Structure 1
Amino acid sequence: MRVPLAVTTSARLNPQLLAQAEAASRRWGVPLFLRRHKRGITSWFDDRAEALLIFGHDGVTLWDREGHHGFHGGMAHLRRLRLAAGEPDIFVRVAELRKGDAVLDCTLGLAQDALVASLAVGPEGRVVGVEKSLPLCALAWEGLKTYELGPDSCRIEVVHADAYEYLRTLPARSFDVVSFDPMFARPRKAQPGFDVLRRFADHAPLTPEALQEGQRVARRWVVVKGAKYSDDLKKLGLTPEPGSRYTGVDWGRIGSSKEDRPG
């Protein structure tokens, strides 16, 4: 019987990689595979695991039968450079992120928006990312552990949980901003690695109940990403904020619950 996720190392094993793999196996409660077949890891997808988290000399990579993706900054790296240079970022603008803010990213994925938020709120701020998919959560957690954020950013806390259930455990107005980036119904052109994200991500749409919980938890805004030229935001009663005509996404936002707002 195949398990959803297992951990292994690159073929060139050394004590450091072995220690990392053993720690990850314990952390996520998944098997550790070490003995390679002559055919490599391919045969493991037949009967042992649906996905593998592989620790190598170049970092951590998530593999499945169809492909692989190593954790890296991706477009978030460029967005962070632009933000540091004083250029606008639509997520930061719509969320009105400020230094010292606490941000809850309810759909962490590959941590692209969380990486930008960590710079926007600075070292005195807080960013928590929630991811329901175990393979994606493990990839993000292990990758962020060694990602060089720099002194101008806060670290990103990663939580493996269903976002709606996690929101229900939080006190009212415990984060300044809550964000959602639900998986779009139709695939869109995206950076490398998005295919892996799509295969492992939770495809359930954002529900009004989860949005309401987000409003309860947020002190200022709940921001939601939707596909441009779709009714993703309209279904939730949100109006797209002004943005670039060259992007394939829109952002909408809604204020915190009225009964929970200060004043």
Structure 2
Amino acid sequence: MRIPLAITTSARPKEWLVAQARAAARQWRVPFIARQPKESIALWFETHAEALLIFGHDGVTLWDREGHHGFHGGMAHLRRLRVAAGEPDTFVRVAELRAGDAVLDCTLGLAQDALVASLAVGPGGRVVGVEKSLALCALVSEGLKTYELGPDSCRVEVVHADALEYLRTLPARSFDVVCFDPMFARPQKSQPGFDVLRRFASHDPLAPEALEEGRRVARRWVVVKGARYSDDLRKLGLTPEPGSRYTEVAWGRARPLEP
């Protein structure tokens, strides 16, 4: 019987890399499988695991039988460069992010918005990302350990949990901004790696209960990303914010609950 996730290394790993992979396996409570020289992992997806987190000398990569994705900044890197140069970012604008803010990203995914938020709130701020998928959570958490954020950003704290359950554990008004980016029902043109995200991420729509918990936890805004072609935002009682007519993304936001 195959397990959902296991951890291994690239072929012929150094001792420090094996130690790093074993430590991650203990942290995420998944098996570590030792890699033999010249051994292909192709058959492992038939006999060992549905997915593998592979530690290599060039970083950490999530593999399944359909493909792979190594952790990197992706479009978030370009967005961070623009924010640093004073250019507008829609997420930062809609959330009204400012230095020192505490941000809770309830759908961390590949950490694209969380990485932008970490720069927008600065080293005195806080960004927490919640991810339901163990495979994505482990990939991002391990990848962030070596990702160079720089002195102008805070680190991104990664939590493996269901967002609604996690929100229910938090005190009221404990974050300035709470954000949701549910998986779109219809795939869009996207950056490399999004296919991996779609295979592993939760496809559940944002529940009204989660939105209300977000409003309880937020001090300023709850921000929700949606698709222009859908009425998902309106079903939640949200009015899409004005934006570019050339994007397929729509943003809505809700005010916090009254204390």
TM-score (norm 1): 0.97
Counterpart of 2:17 in structure 1 is 17
Cα displacement (A) at 1:105? 0.1
Asked if structure 2 preserves the Cα contact closer than 8 Å seen for 1:111 and 1:129, the reply is: yes
Asked if structure 2 preserves the Cα contact closer than 8 Å seen for 1:120 and 1:153, the reply is: yes
Separation in 1, partners of 2:38, 2:97 = 51
Counterpart of 2:194 in structure 1 is 194
Separation in 1, partners of 2:37, 2:183 = 36
How do residues 74-85 of structure 1 correspond to structure 2 at under 5 angstroms? 74-85=74-85
1:234 to 2:234 alignment: yes
How do residues 54-133 of structure 1 correspond to structure 2 at under 5 angstroms? 54-133=54-133
Separation in 2, partners of 1:159, 1:38 = 35
Counterpart of 1:177 in structure 2 is 177
Separation in 1, partners of 2:173, 2:163 = 16
Q: The residue matched to 1:233 in structure 2 has which SS?
A: helix
Counterpart of 1:138 in structure 2 is 138
Asked if structure 2 preserves the Cα contact closer than 8 Å seen for 1:226 and 1:249, the reply is: yes
Separation in 2, partners of 1:35, 1:244 = 49
Which deviates the most, 36-45 or 72-81?
Answer: 36-45
TM-score (norm 2): 0.98
Counterpart of 2:165 in structure 1 is 165
Cα displacement (A) at 1:72? 0.2
CA separation of 1:37 and 1:12: change in aligned 2, threshold 3 A: closer
Separation in 1, partners of 2:37, 2:248 = 43
1:204 to 2:219 alignment: no
Matching residue's letter, 2:218: A
Cα displacement (A) at 1:104? 0.1
Asked if structure 1 preserves the Cα contact closer than 8 Å seen for 2:11 and 2:37, the reply is: no
Q: The residue matched to 1:146 in structure 2 has which SS?
A: coil
Cα displacement (A) at 1:2? 0.8
Which deviates the most, 8-17 or 213-222?
Answer: 8-17
Which deviates the most, 189-198 or 31-40?
Answer: 31-40
Counterpart of 1:152 in structure 2 is 152
Structure 2: tracts of 5 or more residues without a match = none
Which deviates the most, 234-243 or 75-84?
Answer: 234-243
Separation in 2, partners of 1:151, 1:88 = 21
Cα displacement (A) at 1:175? 0.1
Asked if structure 2 preserves the Cα contact closer than 8 Å seen for 1:37 and 1:43, the reply is: no
Counterpart of 2:4 in structure 1 is 4
Counterpart of 2:44 in structure 1 is 44
| Structure 1 consecutive aligned stretches of length 4 or more whose deviation exceeds 4 Å | none
Which deviates the most, 38-47 or 19-28?
Answer: 38-47
Separation in 1, partners of 2:224, 2:109 = 14
Cα displacement (A) at 1:246? 1.8
Matching residue's letter, 1:61: T
How many residues end up aligned between the 2 structures? 259
Separation in 1, partners of 2:109, 2:235 = 23
Cα displacement (A) at 1:245? 1.7
Separation in 2, partners of 1:253, 1:125 = 21
Cα displacement (A) at 1:38? 5.7
Separation in 1, partners of 2:37, 2:118 = 41
Q: The residue matched to 2:63 in structure 1 has which SS?
A: strand
Separation in 1, partners of 2:99, 2:127 = 12
Percent identity, please: 81
Structure 1: tracts of 5 or more residues without a match = none
Asked if structure 1 preserves the Cα contact closer than 8 Å seen for 2:10 and 2:35, the reply is: no
Separation in 2, partners of 1:39, 1:55 = 15
Cα displacement (A) at 1:83? 0.3
